[in-house]
Amino acid sequence: MLNSTRKDPRSHLCLLLFLSVVFWLFLVHTRFVTINGGGTIDEFSKQEPISSQTQPFKPDNRTVETKRDPCEGRYIYVHDLPPQFNEDILKDCNSLSLWNNMCKFISNAGLGPPFENDEGGILNSGLYATNQFTVEVIFHNRMKQYECLTQDSSMAAAIFVPFYAGLDITRHLWGFNVSVRDASTLALMDWLVKRPEWKVMGGKDHFLVAGRITWDFRRSNNQDSQWGSKLLSLPAAKNMSILVIESSAWSFNDFAIPYPTYFHPAKDADVYEWQDRMRKLERPWLFSFAGAPRPGYPELIRGQIIEQCNNSKLCKLLECSSKETKCHSPSSVMKMFQSSMFCLQPPGDSFTRRSSFDSMLAGCIPVFFHPATAYTQYTWHLPRNYSKYSVFIAEDDIRKMNVSIEERLLQISPEQVKIMREELISLMSRLTYADPRSKLETLKDAFDVSVEGVINKVTKLRKDIIEGHEDPKLDEKMAWKYALLEEGQSEVGPHEWDRFFSDVSKG
């Protein structure tokens, strides 16, 4: 006979199911209260206000989700500057140059008007008549599309200052006293140093782009007869990283980034298509040169370069005299580079040339005559092993007529030329600025490489501070040598290029 007091097993199952549901509802309720009960997710993600007493170097590991943040270590905070430092400068575009209407060159997010050939027809998309001094506008507009922007400066790997320093000084270089030339720069520095973001690291995590060569910002005194502004001579600016299209070999805080070229791809496919075109082009000229002589500067080798080119049946010359309009036609210059195997790039008014980047973009192997034209400049963007993509002929050998350029280039086998051009083609995306109104999907452009360079510099500085490393007080006269050190190296010594940098008076 069965025990009448024994319970049905099914009742146990029902009880367990009921308790499970109650427990699950309790967890959901707890999760909801944690996220929403005390404020919004945005409010919880905010850090405490920045002060010089906090520890700005400790990474923020707080996150609602456990998935790794793809922007960790890559966040950029952008200062919201008063419009006088950028927008107002563009509005006054008619005053930016004595010789060019810069209004058309700041169009299309700084790219300028679409490329036209000599007959007035558009060549193809992605090509623009870009002015060499608009990189700060292009860079700022690219930054607006950067995928890792933050409104919380304590999360930032670096802090960007969108001041158009190059355009500002351009309108005041000729006919203005030093007070006018320095007015915007001094006002900016006064604004910056009062900011709490500045006080965390004294500006050492800040960077800005000044779209001219370093010598336009290195006036060392207050004499009106002296050139440029004193941006790079100001103590506050010396704490920042200043990105320029030509840096000083004897300074630690300015870094060279590529001149803007004519090509601005909107997507990866544009780059691949361009690379394929440059790879397949017929190049009837062994070498070419586009430039003007400098008869008033006997130390320059342009006269000898032009003479050697004129004396060679294998050289194409585009002499940029005031009467030669083709030299000022972007399509004419690019067509010459695209039809040449090698392009001569001697120093001109300064060490560097925008032409170097135009020629490399055209798949024309550059021939350099001074290491400061590229090798010690664009160390973030170009390989340390310069022989992989270029030819070096010392300018002294040209000056003393010890070398025939034609004979030197003919010694390079067709197979080696092909290898060098392929290396050059692989670098193209790193040497051009993508259209700021879009973004490359997987390739890095010059903007990406530059931002990465700044972040690496600031990250290393933070690491040194955390580990208690003292400032080594390095000799700035050796700055160009330190820039060439490989990962893990810290000591500099005698270098094969010492003779090229013996004159530190410019620094």
Confidence category of residue 487, pLDDT binned at 50, 70, 90: confident
Q: What is the pLDDT of residue 20?
A: 59
| Structure confidence at residue 62 as a pLDDT band (50, 70, 90) | very low
More reliable by pLDDT, 230 or 119: 230
Last residue of some domain: 431, 448, 481? 431
342 located within any domain: yes
Chain centroid to Cα 32, Å, comes to 45
Residue 172 and residue 252 in one domain: yes
Q: Is 480 helix (H, G, I), strand (E, B) or coil?
A: helix
CB atoms within 10 A of CB 132: 17
Enter the DSSP assignment of 213: B
Within a domain: 336? yes
Number of folded domains that form the chain: 2
Question: Which amino acid, one-letter code, is at 363?
Answer: G
pLDDT at 175: 87
Would you state the pLDDT for residue 295? 75
CA atoms of 354 and 347, how far apart (whole Å): 11
Residue 13 has pLDDT above 70, yes or no: no
Q: Does 286 reside within a domain?
A: yes
Q: Are residues 466 and 489 in the same domain?
A: yes
Query: Which whole number is the average pLDDT over 381-389?
Result: 97
- Residues 310, 257, single domain; the answer is no
Please indicate, yes or no, if residue 18 is contained in any of the structural domains.
no
| Residue-level pLDDT at 491 | 86
Percent of the chain at pLDDT exceeding 70: 84
- Are residues 186 and 309 part of one domain? no
Q: Are residues 75 and 166 in the same domain?
A: yes
Residue given tokens 């003479």 in the structure block: 307
Same domain for 164 and 194: yes
**Distance, C-alpha 487 to centroid of its chain:** 20
Same-domain status, 208 and 282: no
Average pLDDT of span 45-52: 37
Q: Which residue shows structure tokens 């006002």?
A: 187
Residue 337 located in a structural domain: yes
Phi, psi of 446 (to 5 degrees): -60, -35
Residue 200 DSSP symbol: H
Same domain? 103 vs 211? yes
Which pLDDT score is estimated for 40? 32
pLDDT band per the 50, 70, 90 thresholds, residue 11: low
Within this chain, do residues 425 and 459 fall inside the same structural domain, yes or no? no
In the listed set 378, 396, 431, which residue is the last one of a domain according to the structure?
Answer: 431
Structure tokens at 85: 């430092």
Domain boundary among 431, 459, 491: 431
Question: Is residue 244 included in any domain, yes or no?
Answer: yes
Return the C-alpha torsion angle 330, 331, 335, 338, nearest 10. 60
Q: Are residues 211 and 147 in the same domain?
A: yes
Q: In the predicted model, what is the mean pLDDT of residues 343-370?
A: 96
Asked if the structure places residue 104 within a domain, the reply is yes
Distance CA 424, CA 411 (A): 19
Q: What is the pLDDT of residue 125?
A: 72
- pLDDT above 80: residue 239: yes
- Give the model's pLDDT for residue 117: 66
Phi-psi region of 227 (alpha: psi -120 to 50; beta: other; left: phi over 0): beta
Report whether 47 contacts 155 (CB < 8 A): yes
User: Residue 53: its pLDDT value, please?
Assistant: 40
Answer whether residue 39 shows pLDDT above 50: no
Write the DSSP assignment of 66-88 as a string of letters: SSPPTTTTT-EEE----GGGTHH
Q: Which amino acid is at 474?
A: L
CA-to-CA separations, 220 to 74, 170, 181, in angstroms, rounded: 35, 18, 13
Residue 199 and residue 221 share a domain? yes
DSSP letter (8 states) at residue 59:
-
What pLDDT sits at residue 243? 99
Query: How confident is the model over 345-372, as a mean pLDDT?
Result: 96
Question: Which CATH number goes with the domain that contains 395?
Answer: 3.40.50.2000
Tokens of 486: 């490989």
Rg (alpha carbons) of the chain, rounded to whole number: 28
Question: What share of the chain in percent tops pLDDT 90?
Answer: 70
Instruction: Identify the pLDDT of residue 10.
Output: 52
Give 297-311 pLDDT, tens digit per residue. Answer: 777 899 999 999 999
102/244 same-domain check:
yes
Mean pLDDT across the chain: 86
Which domain covers residue 406, as residue numbers? 277-431
Distance CA 71, CA 148 (A): 6
* Cβ-Cβ contacts under 8 Å for 424 (sequence gap 6 or more): 360, 363, 365, 389
> What is the pLDDT at residue 474?
85
At 490 the pLDDT is 81
pTM of the model: 0.85
Contact 165, 210 (CB under 8 A): yes
With residues binned 3-state (H G I as helix, E B as strand, rest as coil), the percentages for the chain, rounded to 5, are 40, 10, 50
Q: Which runs of E-coded beta strand occur in 377-436?
A: 391-392
Q: Which of 225, 231, 233, 232 is nearest to 177 (CA)?
A: 225
